[in-house]
Every structure is written in C-alpha cells, then in structure tokens.
Amino acid sequence: MRTNVRAHRRSRTAALVALLVAAVGLVALGTAVAAQPAAAQGERLVLAFYYTWFDEHTWSPAKVPDLPLEPYASRDRRAMDRHIAQAQTAGIDAFVVSWYGPWGGVNNQTESNFAALLDVAAARGFRVALDVEATSPFVGSSGAMVEMLRHALHVHAAHPAYLRVGGRPVLFFWRQQRWNVDTWQWIRSQVDPDRRSIWIAEGVDMAYQAVFDGHHLYTVTWTPPTDVFYTANKFSRLVQQARERYGGYRYWVATVMPGYDDTRTGRPHAFARPREGGAYYARTWEAAIASNPDWIIVTSFNEWPEGTYIEPSRAYGDYYLQLTAQWSARFKGLSSPLVGEAGRGPSSPLVGEAGRGPSSSPVGEAGRGLSTGREAGRGTPTPDYPAVWVRASVLNVRAAPSTDALRIAQLPGGEVRRAVARLEDGSWWLVCCVAGRYGWVSGRWVTPVGPAEQLARLPIRPLPETSVARKPGPVPQ
C-alpha cells in the first residue's frame, strides 16, 4: 500500500529529525531567544492532514492499531462526505490531502480521489488543499515537479472548493529536502514567479524559507521525545526570523497530534506515544496556541497506520472530534462548550451546600448510562484507563488543587474523567479534559476507577507552595 512507501521514508528520518530539532535549537539559541514568537495575521484556520489511499484491504488489526467505526474505501464519495461532515463539527476548516501528482492512472488513486473530494467538499461548503509529495514515485526529476505543480495550480486550485487565503491557493509540501534551495528557486520561477500562491515547507531546515511562504512540522512526536512547548515556540521564532531575513510574510503553521503508534508498520524503529486519554493531545494544542500560529494543523484526521487519527474509531468513538471542537474554538477565540455540563450553569446548587453529603444521593443520579463499561444507572464504572468517578450531584473543577483556586467548570454526578496525575495523599486529582484543558477535582468527591496498576503509576504532583488548605465541610469542590 502506498501509505507504507511514505511510512518507511519517515521511519528512516524520524530519529535524525529529532536530533536536528535539538541541534537547530542549540545553534539558534543565541538569536532565537531574543526574537519574539511569530505574529499571526488573517483568518485563524484549523486544518487536518487527510489521506485517500485506503481500501477494503486496509482494515486489519495486523496493519492498524485501531479501526474506524465505519471501515471504508477512500474512493467512496459517501465516506468523503461523512468525513467532511465530521470535520466540520470539529471546527476543522480544510483537509490537506497527500498527493502524488496527476500521473499513474489506476495506480495513483491520490489524483482521482482528490478530484472527487473537491466536488464533495464544494457541496458542503468545505475546503481542501494539496500536500505535495516531493518524493512521489511518479516524480523523477525537478522538471517533473514543475509539471506537477502546474497541474496543481492550473487544474485543482481553480476549483471553488480549493483552499485559498487572501485569494491565493495554499500548497503544503512533504520532503521538499529532496532538492536544494537553488533548485527550488528555479522550480518556483517556472511555476509561480510572482508568488500568487502560498507554499508551506516542512521539516527543520529553515533555509527553504528563501523560496517558500511558511513552515510547518509534520510531526512533533519523536523518539526520544522532545518538549512540545519548546519545539513550537522555537519554530515560531525561527519563522519570525525568516520574515526579517527574507522579507515578506511567512506563515507559521503549528502542529497538534493525539498520539502516535506505528508498531504495526514493520518499521525497524517503530514506537508508540500513548494518547493518555486526550492529555497528550491537549498538551500539543496548548503548545501550538502558545506559539501564536497563523494556522494549526492536526496530524491527522485519518493516518491510521501511524496511529495519529482523530476520525471516530472503535477504541475512542468520537472523543477526539469532541476535543478538537473545543480546542479549535479556543484557538479561534470562540466560546467552547464545557464537556459534561449537562445543562447546569455555574449557579447550580451543589449537593452538600444544604448540609447534605454525597450519601444522600444515589450513585448514578444523573440518570443516564455512561460509555465506560457501567450499566445504566447502577454499578461502578470499569474503564480500561485510570479515571475518577464523580459521586456528587455537581462537582467543581478548579485551576489548581485548592478550594480557593479559580473554578473553570463543573462536572455532573456520575461523570467519569481520565486521571492524569494526583497529589500524594489523593486529596486532589488532575483530570482531562474539561473545557479543552486540564482541571483539578477534590478527592473527597470522586472515586478512583480503572486498572489499579495504572492508577498506582500516575504522576504525583507536589502541592504548590501557594495552595491554601482545604476548607472543612461536606461541600463538593
């Protein structure tokens, strides 16, 4: 399958890229620290990488770490329509679609499927763009790349559903390092000498900004791992430096990822980065937003062999679409619905405020079943991940482990939330995610549930020096 062609190329460079990220950071440290993060301009877009090379033979546990709720063939327009509708509910503005060029006929479904996707997108008011694969098996020379890009701009970019920013069509590139900067200067002079399109480069070599109009990292998840906050802010500063060095605006496109798992690809250096129930995804979003990007791109909507999908799956349902909707709203400056609010506003009375403890209310008083292994209305939930189970009617979620800390949300009784850390004495638990962020809940009003060994391995957070002792009394906090 062609996804494996690209996958093996990535595997050979993954470790090198991680080392280069660190090396570039050391070399640029003196100047990058002084520079400010890139300043965003224009519409804040949320994009997602999308792949169109799956068929009936893809969906095997031996090939992918999870399965879509509805297995499909990428050529099926009904699947395209479903995916676009799902993306729209998640606040995604456009798909960026891997493309091997216009050649190959039946041996290159990326061309025919992209043409079909444009039509489906137009019907839904959605946008799509190309991720130009410089290492496409159909591109044998820089001259062929010129023809590939002419087709992209004269044919696909002329479609009304193609992504344009400021009237200029957007092209992402994968592995433009195949040719040096001088060769790309020549390619651009042949295709787009007046820069009437926007070209977004990939990787750690910022020299390509002499030719390109912006930058992104396809992945921010490597082994050994790097700090996602450091990486996002460093490349934001490097983009700002490119603006100053080369003149003209350069777009900074920050990357978010839910996790990673390519252990079924057969790669020699395959690895998995756990999703932590959404906590890792939240950290990449926080890092991306903090870097002040023009756009954010999700890796990915449906890269199944590498385990970066947010498409609804058997393991996660539509959980990652929900998280994406919340984080997208935050990035765009929109109000974000609180997960699990169940219609209660902040002024809702809390169990215990009238002198009643949690024993005055039955377990599962929310009156609805949870998709956590618990039968509706009775029994203890049994998730397969470390979590806490809310035993109060309504539970406050705090910004810090203190009753004096800012209340950021509330959770209804019976809610189950993934636990990502706790205080040593179990008096407070850090959960993910509420209103698109972490929050602390009082251990007095929750029960730890899930695998005991995973609960025991949760990180222990120290009590902040500024924390105030918990107030006495049975009021859920």
Place of tokens 């449906």: 302
The pLDDT of residue 463: 66
Q: Are 277 and 270 in contact (CB under 8 A)?
A: no
Kindly indicate the confidence band of residue 35, based on its pLDDT and cuts at 50, 70 and 90: very low
CB distance 266 to 306 below 8 Å: no
Neighbours of 382 (CB within 10 A): 14
Instruction: Fill in the amino acid letter for 195.
Output: R
Reported as a pLDDT band with limits 50, 70 and 90, residue 11 is very low
CATH superfamily, domain 2-331, is Glycosidases (3.20.20.80)
User: Tens digit of pLDDT for each residue in 146-164?
Assistant: 999 999 999 999 999 999 9
Distance CA 126, CA 431 (A): 34
Q: Span 331-355, mean pLDDT?
A: 40
Show the tokens assigned to 449.
């549930």
Report helix angle 319-331 to 77-89, nearest 10: 50
397, HSE (Cβ side, Cα atoms, 13 Å): 25
The whole-angstrom distance between residue 113's C-alpha and the CA centroid of its chain comes to 24
* Mean pLDDT, rounded, for 26-38: 41
Question: Peptide bond preceding 300: is omega within 30 degrees of 0, i.e. cis?
Answer: yes
Task: Specify the domain boundaries for CATH 2.30.30.40 within the chain.
Answer: 358-461
Q: How far is CA 322 from CA 121, 200, 379, 419, 435, in A?
A: 21, 28, 26, 18, 10
- Mean pLDDT, all residues of the chain: 82
Is the per-residue pLDDT at 74 higher than 70? yes
Q: Which fold has domain 358-461?
A: SH3 type barrels. (2.30.30)
Is the pLDDT assigned to residue 308 strictly greater than 80? yes
SS3 state at 327: helix
* Structure-token pair, residue 98: 């891997």
Residues of the chain with CATH 3.20.20.80: 2-331
**365 band by pLDDT with thresholds 50, 70 and 90:** very low
